[in-house]
Amino acid sequence: PIHLKIPQIVLLHQSLLVYRNSDFERLWAPTERWKFRYTRWHFERMAPHCAALTVQTPVMAKRLHQTYNIPMDKIHVVSSALPAHLQQASGGIYPNIQMMATDKPCRLLFLAAGYEHKNHYILPALVEILRQRKLADKVQIFVTLDATVRSYERDLLALLEPYSDCVTNLGRLAPDQVKGAYKAANALFIPTLVESFGLIYLEAMACNCPILTSDRDFARWMCDDLARYFDPLDPASIAQAIERFIANGPPEAYRERAIQRLERFPSSWDAVAREYVEILRQCA
C-alpha cells in the first residue's frame, strides 16, 4: 500500500531499488525491466508515508537517503544474524568431494544463484585471461547453478561449457552442504555487482574461508580488510587478484580477525527480533 492509517514499517531488502546499474540491467528480459521500473516508481510514492524503513547496512541507509531523499531519522539499520547451521561446530564436516577431486592448488567457490547482478557472465573472459597467464592449471572455479530453475541459468551453463577446464558446476547446494563446500575451497569468489547485505561474506568468515570479491561499497563495509578486492567488470583485474592470492595467501591472522569481525553482527535471530520490536514500539 502507498499509505496506511496506522504506522507503516518497511524492510528494504531489495538492493535494486537503490542501485541503478546498466551493466546488469541490460541483461534483463523485458518483463524484468518493467517489473523494476514499476517497483521503483511504487516505492518512491510509498516511502515518504512510512513511519520507519529498515535496512541491513549503513551503506544501504546512505543510498536510500540519497536516492529517495528519506530523512535519516526514519531509517534504521538492523543487520542479519549468521544462519544457525553455520554457527554450529564444524566437527565431522567433510570437504566437498567433487571440489577436492581437482588437483589444482586454487579452488574458488562462486556460491551464488544465477541472477544477472551476480555477474557470472564475466567468467568466459576471465578464463581466457587465466589461460593467457598460464594460470588455468592452477585455478578451478566452482559455480552453483541450477538449470531447472531459470532459463537464464540454463543459458549460463551452455555459455560456460567451453571453459570446463577452469569452471565446474556443483549445482544448487542444500544448507547442509554449504560448510563442506567452504571447507574444500581455498577462497570464496564473489564478483557480484550489487548486494543489499552480503550474508555470504559472514558465512565465509565463520567457515574460515578467505574472500575474493568486488571493490564495491557493500563489500568493503562487510569485509573491510579481510578480503582481496578487484574490479568486477575487468577480467584482468580479477585475474590479478587471483594471482596475488595464489602468491600471498589470505590476509595475516585471517581466522582471528574474522572472528572479531563477526562479533560486530547480531549473535542470533532473537537479537535481531528484539531490535525490530523496539522499532515497532517507537512507531506505535
10-residue averages of pLDDT along the chain (284 residues): 93 92 85 93 95 96 95 95 69 87 96 94 97 96 92 93 97 91 97 93 93 96 95 97 95 91 89 95 93
Tell me what pLDDT residue 22 has: 77
Nearest in space to 63 (alpha carbons), one of 181, 170, 185, 216: 216
Tell me what pLDDT residue 88 has: 63
The SS3 of residue 104 is coil
**Under 8 Å between Cβ of 179 and 235:** no
23's enclosing H/E stretch is helix 22-25
Tell me what pLDDT residue 101 has: 96
Tell me what pLDDT residue 87 has: 66
Tell me what pLDDT residue 90 has: 59
pTM for this entry: 0.92
**Under 8 Å between Cβ of 69 and 93:** no
Q: How far is CA 222 from CA 44, 160, 192, in A?
A: 27, 30, 13
- State the DSSP code for 115: -
